[in-house]
Structure formats: C-alpha cells, structure tokens
C-alpha cells in the first residue's frame, strides 16, 4: 500500500461552462475525501422571476444559459400552457421541436469537437487538435453553425433567442428562408453521418459502472415533451417530479444537488439513448441507428460522446423532415388566458432533463418559481463517477495524470455550472 501523500491544486478547469473545483485527498492509497465543489455565486434567477408577468418569462429564462436557452424557454411555456389548459396547434409543436433540434445540434457539435474530443485524442484544446484533424474540426464547426442557423430562423437570434412565447411564436418564417435552410441541412446530413462513423471507430473506452438513467420518453423521440422514465422503472408526470427527486444543499457547493429516491442518477444523451433502447420508443431513424450500434444501452460513461454524435444525426434528420412538411400558418400562436395556480413543465435540454415549476396569481404574476437544471441533477453522479473511475485508473498515478483524468471525467458530462449555479480548481492531498 502506498504511503505517499500528495497535495495538488489546479486553479481552473478549462473547457467547462462556469467555475468550480475538485478537492481530492488520498490517504495510504485510498480516497479519503473527494468533493466536487462549485463556488460560482448564486444567480437568483428564480427570485428575479417573482412579481414578473408570465408573458415576460420566456425571454427572461433564456438569459440563464447562452448554450441552451431554448430548453429554458420550452420548459417554461410547457409549464404555463399546462396550467392555462392551452393546447398548441400542430404547427407550433413542430416549430418548437425544430427550434429545439437546432439547440441540440449546436450544443452537441460544440461539446464533441471543442471540449470532449481533445481529451480523448490527447490534445490540450480543440485548436491544438485542429492542426492534426483540420477536416474533422471544420466539419464539427459547420454543424454547430447550422444548429445556430435553425435557432435564428425561429428565435430571431442564436444566443438568448426571443421568438418563443406562451401559445407559440412571435412570427412565422417565410417559405424562401425555409427552402434555403432545408437545402443546407440535406447537404449536411451525410457529413454528420460520416462524423458519427468516425466517432464510432475511435478507441474511446472506460470502465462500466452501475447507474440509473433518467430521461423523458416520447414516441417520436423525446425532445420538447415526454413522460419521465428511469431504468429503475419510474414513470412520472411533471407534477410528480418532486415526489421522487429531492434537492439538497451540499456544504461545499453553491448549486443544489439532486437525488432520485435518495440515490444519484444520470440525465443527458447517454441516459436518453439507454431508455430509448430499453423502451423501443423513438423515431424510425433513431431506432435504426441504435439497432446498428451494439454499444447501446451502455453503462460506460465515455460513450456519452458517441451518444451526442447520434443525437446530432437524429436532430438533423428530424429538422429536415419538419422543414419538408412546412406550411405557412394563419397565425404563429394560439390565444390563452391566465389561470391562477401551479404549473409544471419540462423538456430534454442537450445536457438532460430540465424541470420548471411556477405559481401564478390571478393577474398572471409569478409568486414562486423553481428550476431544476440538468447539471445539478448530475452533480452527485459526477462525484460518484470520479470516485469509481479514479480507483479503476489507479491512485498511484502521477498528480498530472490524476488531474487530466478527473478533468476528462467531468468534461464528459458537459456540465453547465453557470446554469446549475454553478467549475475546476483541483486540490489533491496524498497522506
């Protein structure tokens, strides 16, 4: 047994959204302390929403995240429309799904090519990787750009879009814009499928772990709606979320942690594909891709990158099908009236399940808001993963190797610490 004690401090973890730290104490060859410590100041968005009118909320919650604003908007309008008994027409439902596909493509392409792949291929950054893989990086950035273009079509802009409102959209795109975008997406789908084939042959491996996958399930593939399922047999509606999910304050994190029935759980692309494979519910295109890939369902967390590649192809294919069916609507939205009470909504953000709860008074003002983002749901699982993967990796590795491994494990989750509120200073002590 090693008697070595190591104190290691890494001031900032690069290539993650937000600020946090990891404290690791190794004593006599055992992990004595492992803390995923998020210290970014609280952002108080839920408190800011109190007193504001429901019509303001979609634009306000879009400001929570620059990468996945659509997820916040859609979860919010789902909550209000559920409370107000508003049934968006098929055009609105299809356009929300299209907008959301744009966000999946943009977010996943960015993470795969600029954040995760450099770890797996041994580069310090996406820019350094581009010297040896110029065509692959260029292709990834092109896909990301197309995702942004979809978001601009319906949201007015790709960052903090402003097109979504309760009942639908502020405006409908014209046919010429639809035709131009459709041609670009059809040309890009073979490139995305080539990207997926490339990712599939990369030597990305890791130890299998035992964890619970949690995600929405929907017949066409859950994106903007669905019913919560878990690999432990849960089947929940949005209003039942807090009956099984408990948020709690960690003494070393400014972000709330979440447990499902007192246990850590996984949300995000890998969880989604595991549940699609388990239930057999999804689009024919998605099910066909999964049927041809023996790695799913997967208990290997590093398969998350491949899952993102599959979801990029799925979102592109789905976008093309929606655009082919596009018809100019008489109106881009449906009417609604305020109904006081409590509304619940959720959707599948690129990083995983995003749940909202709002209490609304008779004038339509918010009296209470609660938002549970994907990263806070994954925090306990990340810490559990770090513990298990470090033991498999070997605690007698050098401090530099331990640091790289920890950062790779954390980045693999694509954590959005700012959303959660809130990443990485690594402090390692060996005793």
Find tokens 């491949």 and name the residue: 306
Q: Does 46 show up as a binding residue in the annotation? A: yes
Q: Does 313 show up as a binding residue in the annotation? A: no
Q: Do the beta carbons of residue 368 and residue 243 sit within 8 Å? A: no
Measured CA to CA in angstroms, residue 114 lies from 140, 149, 305 at distances of: 9, 19, 12
- CA 419 to mean position of chain CA atoms: 11
Q: Does 422 show up as a binding residue in the annotation? A: yes
Measured CA to CA in angstroms, residue 202 lies from 25, 120, 195, 199, 313 at distances of: 33, 9, 11, 5, 18
Q: Does 365 show up as a binding residue in the annotation? A: no
Task: Give phi and psi for 359, each to the nearest 5.
Answer: -105, 130
Residues forming beta bridges with residue 216, ordered by sequence position: 228
Q: Does 186 show up as a binding residue in the annotation? A: no
Nearest alpha-carbon partner for 334 in 85, 123, 154, 138: 85
**DSSP secondary structure, 135-174, as one string:** HHHHHHHHHHHHHHHHHHHHHSSSSS---EETTEES----
Q: Does 371 show up as a binding residue in the annotation? A: yes
Q: Does 330 show up as a binding residue in the annotation? A: no
Intra-chain end-to-end CA distance of the chain, in Å: 12
**DSSP secondary structure, 86-102, as one string:** ----HHHHHHHHHHHHH
Known binding positions: 46, 65, 68, 371, 416, 419, 422
Query: Residues within the annotated binding site for Fe cation?
Result: 68, 419
**Residue ranges for the binding site for Ni(2+)?**
65, 68, 416
Binding-site residue numbers for Mg(2+) are 46, 371, 422
């Amino acid at each position: 047994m090693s008697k070595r004690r190591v104190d290691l401090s890494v001031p900032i973890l690069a290539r993650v959204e937000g600020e946090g730290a990891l404290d690791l104490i190794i004593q006599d060859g055992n992990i004595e302390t492992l803390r995923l410590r998020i210290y970014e100041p609280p952002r108080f968005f839920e408190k800011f929403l109190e007193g504001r009118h429901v019509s303001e909320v979609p634009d306000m919650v879009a400001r929570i995240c620059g990468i996945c604003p659509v997820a916040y908007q859609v979860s919010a309008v789902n909550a209000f429309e559920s409370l107000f008994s508003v049934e968006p027409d098929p055009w609105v439902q299809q356009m929300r799904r299209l907008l959301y596909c744009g966000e999946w493509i943009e977010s996943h392409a960015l993470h795969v090519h600029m954040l995760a792949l450099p770890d797996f291929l041994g580069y310090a950054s996406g820019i350094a990787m581009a010297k040896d893989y110029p065509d692959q990086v260029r292709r990834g950035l092109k896909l990301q750009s197309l995702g942004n273009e979809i978001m601009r079509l319906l949201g007015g802009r790709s960052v903090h879009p402003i097109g979504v409102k309760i009942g639908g959209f502020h405006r409908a795109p014209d046919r010429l814009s639809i035709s131009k975008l459709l041609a670009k997406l059809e040309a890009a789908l073979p490139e995305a499928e080539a990207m997926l084939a490339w990712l599939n042959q990369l030597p990305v491996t890791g130890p299998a772990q035992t964890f619970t996958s949690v995600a929405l399930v929907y017949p066409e593939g859950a994106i903007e709606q669905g019913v919560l399922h878990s690999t432990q047999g849960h089947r929940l509606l949005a209003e039942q979320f807090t009956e099984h999910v408990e948020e709690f304050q960690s003494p070393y994190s400014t972000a709330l942690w979440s447990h499902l029935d007192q246990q850590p759980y996984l949300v995000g692309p890998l969880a989604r594909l595991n549940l699609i494979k388990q239930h057999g519910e999804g689009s024919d295109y998605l099910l066909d891709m999964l049927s041809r890939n023996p790695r799913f369902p997967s208990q290997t967390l590093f398969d998350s990158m491949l899952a993102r590649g599959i979801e990029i192809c799925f979102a592109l294919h789905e976008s093309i099908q929606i655009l082919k069916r596009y018809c100019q609507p008489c109106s881009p939205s449906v009417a609604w009236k305020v109904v006081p009470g409590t509304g619940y909504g959720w959707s599948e953000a690129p990083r995983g399940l995003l749940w909202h709860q709002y209490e609304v008074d008779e004038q339509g003002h918010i009296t209470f808001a609660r938002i549970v983002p994907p990263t806070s749901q994954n925090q306990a699982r990340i810490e559990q993963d770090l513990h298990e993967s470090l033991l498999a990796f070997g605690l007698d590795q050098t401090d530099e190797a331990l640091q790289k491994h920890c950062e790779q494990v954390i980045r693999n989750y694509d954590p959005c610490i700012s959303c959660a509120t809130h990443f990485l200073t690594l402090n390692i002590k060996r005793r």
